[in-house]
Amino acid sequence: MKKLASALAIAAAATSLVLTAYAVECSYVDLEAGPIWSNDDAQTKCPQVCTSHGGYWKGQWTTTVAGQMSVCGCYICP
Is residue 75 helix, strand or coil?
strand
Residue closest to 55 by CA, chosen among 39, 33, 32, 78: 78
pLDDT at 71 exceeding the cut of 70: yes
Q: What is the dihedral of CA 25, 33, 65, 35, to 10 degrees?
A: -150
pLDDT digits (tens, 9 = 90+) for 23-65: 678 899 999 999 999 999 999 999 999 999 999 999 999 999 9
CATH number at 31 reads 3.30.1490.230
* Average pLDDT score over residue span 67-73: 98
Is 53 inside any structural domain?
yes
Q: Domain range spanning residue 41?
A: 25-78
Is 19 inside any structural domain?
no
Instruction: Give the number of domains in the chain.
Output: 1
Is the whole model's pTM more than 0.85, yes or no?
no
Is 48 inside any structural domain?
yes
